[in-house]
Amino acid sequence: MSTDLNIDHVANLARLALTPEEKARFSAQLGDVLGHIEQLRKIDVSGVEATAHAYPVFNVWADDVARPGLPVEAALQNAPEHRDNMIVVPKVVEGE
Amino acid sequence: MNYEAVIGLEVHVQVKTRSKMFTRVEAGYGRAPNTLTDPVVLALPGVLPVMNKVALDAIIKAGLMLGCEIAPVCKWDRKNYFYPDSPKNYQISQYDQPICRGGFVEIELPGSARNVMGEHKRIPLTRIHLEEDVGKLNHETVDSLIDYNRAGTPLMEIVSEPAMHSAEEAFAYLTSLRQTMIYGGISDCDMEKGQLRCDANISIRPAGETKLGTKVELKNLNSISFVRDGIAHEIKRQVAVIQAGGTIVQETRDYDGQTGTSQSLRTKEMAHDYRYFPDPDLMPVKVDEAWKARIKSECPELPFDKQRRFIEQYQVPYTITSVLVPDQELSAFFEEAAKLSGKPQQVGNWIVNDLLRELGNARIGLAEAKVKPAHIAELVKLVDSGTLLSNAAKDVFVEVFQTGDSPAAVVDRKGLKAETNAGELEQWCRDAIAANPKSLADFKAGKDSAINGFKGFIMKAAKGKANPKLVDETLRRLLAGL
């Protein structure tokens, strides 16, 4: 399974610039994780229903009642730069 | 060689809710930038999403109206990507367990003439899932500005099978889908406000071939006519590429409706890798029969079903129904007036011709109009009984529209009641015959149209208040006796 691991691809997806040493270290660590998953895959779970949660709780919701949000000043206060009450980011075209 | 186009549409529809999908800050359009945010929208540390019950009701309603299967249980997934339209670096969506599967959109293709109903078809759906909308990026010269007001708005993604074969079919699909959503009160589907957005997957193949060709995704189809024009343009472009000996490249193209051209968006060769995984912050949704039954009871009659019923039940022409049915309010108005008067065809004509004209002139909607269904019914009865002449009735309608007074009151006030005094009418007829010996001779010689020679005389004497039907009957009776 660990042979499927493409560390460059994974790092790129996470937007991480890794040094060759880090790549080697994380490849090994992630390989161990995948090895553990391989072990888990050997367990027969054919009688177990798949679930995304360990606890059977459903339909946790709220009524659709709008309440005030953050003042625009507060919404912008963590932004490194803003203009016209909008957050300034480098120009990026989707998919690049 | 002949080519067949294969088209699938991905339509995003914003659900009409007061608050956002996973938090209760207000959802809205056209507000000052970044005034509709809260810690959940901005993905501040420690926040937890909580589902919007009304958004769930709405997607179940959409599914039931479109004949989908509603999943008994479904979950939420994170779609991971880096782009500043999402402050979380992921979008909450549904990956392998959409809430709705299957179903179809009934469409009507253009008929052979404007007054002829076109062919109907069912375009199958793959799925409908619920997700959250993302923020809006405004691209400037050197940088981009983000407004997160839209981020977190409940958004349905409605995916069709690749089952359409022309720009006309795609246009009809979108028109029908939009109509259905509006009927259900699910969304206002205003494309200018981004409440309905459409991407198209288009490929071509030699006629008769069953394998799909390489598809091109067309984006930015931001009006229904741009969808039609953009798809027609893309089909033509692909055929030209193939005919020139080229091959279609899988890519995303941006259609510019203003210039009617498209250009390739530079994209990486690598397929998107969104690394979907179940959102640990959200518990699954379980839809039981009782919930489905409650929503089912709230589903309105579908537009095409209403149209078929109007034609069958009220015998109104297709053209009238195609004006009434797209407007739910107008359809209800028609139906009430039709029932009150028992003359649905006349009611249909008054609504489609006179009511819509006056609403247009006054620039108001039906809800603000003073004229009510009972007024139309009364007007139809007055005309039908001969109390009010058709010409005069047009003016009465305008007066009713402006004042909200009953047609009978307007007729009285304006002295428009048709002359029905039989004695007086007969005298006018006798006078007319006596004054027009030539018409009399022509009529007796077998020229039926000569009867019109008398009518002008009578109408003049009656100052337009004589009932033409009665005049005709009386004249014929008198002439037969001469």
| Cβ within 8 Å, pair A92-B26 | no
Closest Cα to residue B117, out of B282, B251, B317, B294?
B317
Q: Which residues contact B434 (CB under 8 A, 6 or more apart)?
A: none
Exposed / middle / buried, residue B478 (Cβ in 10 Å: 0-12, 13-18, 19+): middle
For chain B, what percent of residues have pLDDT higher than 90? Answer: 74
Cβ <8 Å between B54 and A63: yes
Q: Chain-centre distance of CA B475, in angstroms?
A: 50
Task: Please report, rounded to a whole number, the percentage of residues in chain A having pLDDT higher than 70.
Answer: 92
Q: Which domains does chain A have, with CATH numbers?
A: 1-44 (1.10.20)
More confident of the two residues B93 and B458: B93
Per residue in B129-180, pLDDT (tens digit) is 999 999 999 999 999 999 999 999 999 999 999 999 999 999 999 999 999 9
pLDDT at B192 > cutoff 50: yes
User: What's the CA gap between A18 and A81, in Å, rounded?
Assistant: 28
pLDDT value of position B257 = 86
pLDDT value of residue B48: 96
Domain ranges of chain B: 3-292, 301-414, 422-480
Q: Residue A14's pLDDT is what?
A: 87
Out of B80-89, B385-394, B461-470, least confident range? B461-470
As a whole number, the mean pLDDT across chain B is 92
Give the closest-approach CA distance of A6 to chain B in angstroms: 13
Taking alpha carbons only, the member of B95, B90, B101, B59 closest to residue B77 is B95
- d(CA B326, nearest CA chain A) in Å: 28
More confident residue, B335 or A12: B335
Q: Which residue from A64, A90, A93 is facing B143, i.e. has the nearest CB?
A: A90
Q: Indicate the residue of B34, B56, B143 with minimum beta-carbon distance to A91.
A: B143
What is the average pLDDT across B199-213? 94
For residue A96, what pLDDT is reported?
42
Q: What is the pLDDT of residue B267?
A: 60
3-state helix vs strand vs coil in chain B, percent to 5: 40, 20, 40
Say what the ipTM of the complex is. 0.87
Give the pLDDT confidence score for residue B390 in this predicted structure.
78
How does pLDDT run across B290-329, given as a tens digit for each residue? 999 999 999 999 999 999 999 999 999 999 999 999 999 9
The rounded distance, in Å, linking the Cα atoms of B302 and B66 is: 9
Distance to chain B for A94, nearest Cα, Å: 7
How far is residue B200's CA from residue B205's CA, in Å, rounded to a whole number?
A: 16
Q: Give yes or no for A61 touching B (CB within 8 A).
A: yes
Residue range B355-363: mean pLDDT, rounded? 95
With a cut of 90, say whether residue B47 has pLDDT above it: yes
Question: Please, which pLDDT band fits residue B196 given cuts at 50, 70 and 90?
Answer: very high
Mean pLDDT of B37-58: 97
Residue B338: name the closest of B311, B365, B305 by CA. B311
Torsional sign, CA B295, B301, B302, B303: negative
pLDDT digits (tens, 9 = 90+) for B414-473: 877 776 666 777 888 888 898 888 888 998 888 888 888 888 888 887 777 777 878 888
Which residue, among B64, B131, B76, has the nearest Cα to B100 in the 3D structure?
Answer: B64
CA distance linking residue B203 with residue B216, whole number of Å: 6
d(CA B392, CA B383): 9
Can you tell me the mean pLDDT for B39-52? 96
Mean pLDDT over A19-45 rounds to 94
Q: Are B295 and B61 in contact (CB under 8 A)?
A: yes
Question: With an 8 Å Cβ cutoff, is A5 touching chain B?
Answer: no
Which of these, B432, B407, B426, lies nearest to B417 by C-alpha position? B407
State percent of chain B over pLDDT 70.
98
Residue A93 binned pLDDT confidence (cut-offs 50, 70, 90): low
Interior/surface letters B138-172, b for 16+ CB within 10 angstroms, e for the rest: eeeeeebbbbbbbbbbbbbbbbbebbbebbbbbbb
Q: Is the confidence at residue B268, as pLDDT, over 60? A: no
CA distances from B350 to B281, B333, B442 (A): 57, 12, 38
Asked if the B422-480 domain carries CATH number 3.40.718.10, the reply is no
Return the residue of A nearest to B58 by Cα. Answer: A64
Q: Do B54 and A64 touch (CB under 8 A)?
A: yes
